[in-house]
Structure 1
Amino acid sequence: MNVVFYQITKPLNIALLKAVIDEKLQELPFTNCSTQEAQRLGFVCAVPGTADETSTDEPWHLDLPNALVVRIKEQQKKVSKRAHAKEVERRANLVMEEQGRRVNKKERQDIKDQVMLEMLPRTYPEDRYFAITITSHWVAVPVTGYSAAESLLSFIREALGTFPVIPVRVMNSPEVVMTSWINNGAGPDDDVTLFGTMTLADPADDGVRISCRDIEPFGDEVRAHLEAGRRVTSVGVMIENLFGAVISSDLIFKNFQLAEFLQEELEHTKTDTTAAEYAAWHIIMADAMDQAVQCLPRWFGSDQEVALPAVMTQAQRNEFMQKLSKAMAEDAE
């Protein structure tokens, strides 16, 4: 999955938020789009698979150590752009044939709006779910860009009344820093491995990018691009026994995945309910995302005087991993 991180400007009292958040979310439950709506958002129960996903008898947030997860459901009708444009053109040509003139800009926009209103009721809606992790100091939104993230965060803000968040800020240019990693022949930390999914761009050629897959990050081919003046705009990073992702210059983590051994332990862990399995996955994922957030100021510099507190203490992390290892051993027997 992709992850966009935001920093909370005024630390949240997570314990207090957990006590009141269900009631607030239930004031904005999901309902289906009306015939003339193109999109609708709404909150649903925290755990997937609930028969009635807006039941007030179920929890509306997932309770994690020092964090919580809420789910937003989006329903969207994606009208075919090609079909829409074809119908608009047909009606504009009809005006030309009947009245002997071209439609002006305002008339064309009116035609576009009318065609959209007629096509929306005939368009089948698509549903998507977003599980958003909230801690006292940061928020993780599983989307591909800031525009989509802002839409979901604004909806949370509408429910809570206030939600002071900004994109995570760093002091140094990520492009310059990531390029220095390649030039220096090493990742930012001893436990970080760079892998060959990367993008390079020449600052002088705006918009021209070179995408590479399965390439040696410190090899001659990449070095030739750097010697030609190109910079690294995204690169794959893997933190040992934690997670792997492709980090881009806008600080979005793409294809964020837990380390293989964590995935294996989660897959082999027996739990009593789907809710418990879902919670276990999010606990580990929240810890991995927390480590990712901690990496950003360390790698790219920060203007923050105080480091963000960890979601899980080392003791909590060790306890949880012991439980996973024990469950995996029992399953093997």
Structure 2
Amino acid sequence: MWFRNARVFRFTKPFDISAEALEEKLAADAFKPCGPQETTRHGWVPPLGKHGELLVHSAGGYHLVALRKEEKVLPAPVIKEMVEEKAEAIEQEQGRKVRKKEKDEIKEEVTLELLPRAFSRNRRTYAYLSPADGVMVVDAGSAKQAEDVASALRQSLGSLPVRPPVLEQAPAFTFTGWLDESIDLPASIELGMECELKDPSEDGGVVRCKGMDLKSDEIQNHLAAGMQVTKLSLTWDENVSFVLDEEFGIRRLKFGETLQEKLDDVDSDDAAAKFDAAFSLMTLELSRLIPGMLDAMGGEDTSAIVSE
């Protein structure tokens, strides 16, 4: 159970919920497959999959949940072809032109006709709540996917006072400062070999660099020309590597050998026990990484966070 991404949400006021209460709330919105005429549906499923039945997996005060989303897949070319065939048939039978509004109505009819035979695409998105740390972390590659999980939780719980962290200074300012050395790079952080630079002007370009020394003359020339760093690959505490973007989105998480060795030391052939051990190791590591990176990025603006 290793997250590949980490989208962080900050609780804006004290929030606590037991695993039992969370289980009860989510049960009302447990996943059910799409009906014959539905294009999409989402709901909560057991994080352990076939190895568990509970909708909440808790360890050390961290509550893991999983949102399953089903989408019916209808190839656009197939729909378009059927719409054109029906429109042509009407034009030949009635001797008139089929206008756009009528074609849109035909498209709706075709979609409803095909839905029962459509393939389903399923995706599970994992998230954990840590009331003690004041954060919720979603394994999502995009802000929208993470917000979808937050919205689903908010709907199930009735209230979920979270928002993305707000930093005291713009991440692009910090990233750029680290590379041009106008800002000291914290001792806990090592630069990787990947970055994205953007020209801040309205029609500015984008330069993506991989496998490069980020202190090289080529990179420095782009910075001297006014480009800003918007993504940066980093290693934290010699144990976790990732790509951090200007939304504080942590992508392509890779946990180091130390954590894997600890997991290998778990003497159990029980899949659920292994899952639990990996989850515990990961959450403890992220509980250090997230505040550490927030501090390294210049600190968090907590003016809108109510502590009591």
TM-score normalised by structure 2 residue count: 0.87
- Do the aligned residues in 1 keep the contact of 2:40 with 2:71 (CA within 8 Å)? yes
Matched, 1:302 2:300: yes
- Distance change (3 Å), C-alpha of 1:307 and 1:182: farther
Give the Å deviation of 1:268.
4.7
Percent identical among aligned pairs is: 24
Q: Which residue of the partner structure matches residue 264 of structure 1? A: 261
Deviations along 1:76-131, whole A, 9 cap, x unmatched? 22222333344444545555555443513x33332332232223222211222222
Among 224, 229, 232, the alignment partner of 2:229 is: 232
Give the Å deviation of 1:195.
0.6
Q: Which residue of the partner structure matches residue 179 of structure 1? A: 176
Counterpart Cα distance in 2 of 1:34 and 1:289? 39
Stretch of structure 1 that moved more, 145-154 or 193-202: 145-154
Larger RCO of the pair (alpha carbons < 8 Å, separation 6+) = 2
Query: In structure 1, what residue type is equivalent to 2:159?
Result: T
- Distance change (3 Å), C-alpha of 1:196 and 1:224: same
Give the CA RMSD over aligned residues. Answer: 2.6
Q: Which residue of the partner structure matches residue 25 of structure 2? A: 24
Among 51, 56, 77, the alignment partner of 1:61 is: 56
Among 177, 180, 196, the alignment partner of 1:199 is: 196
- Distance change (3 Å), C-alpha of 1:232 and 1:182: same
Deviations along 1:268-322, whole A, 9 cap, x unmatched? 532252111111111122123223321224413322269999xxxxxxxxxxxxx
Number of matched residues?
300
Q: Which residue of the partner structure matches residue 124 of structure 2? A: 129
Give the Å deviation of 1:40.
1.4
Query: In structure 1, what residue type is equivalent to 2:49?
Result: P
Query: In structure 2, what residue type is equivalent to 1:280?
Result: A
Among 273, 276, 281, the alignment partner of 2:278 is: 281
- Distance change (3 Å), C-alpha of 1:270 and 1:153: same
Query: In structure 2, what residue type is equivalent to 1:222?
Result: I
Counterpart Cα distance in 2 of 1:49 and 1:186? 49
Structure 1: gaps of 5 or more residues = 310-333
TM-score normalised by structure 1 residue count: 0.81
- Map 1:1-333 onto structure 2 (within 5 A): 1-13=4-16, 16-50=17-51, 58-92=53-87, 99-101=95-97, 103-104=99-100, 106-136=101-131, 137-184=134-181, 188-206=185-203, 208-294=205-291, 295-304=293-302
- Do the aligned residues in 2 keep the contact of 1:95 with 1:103 (CA within 8 Å)? no
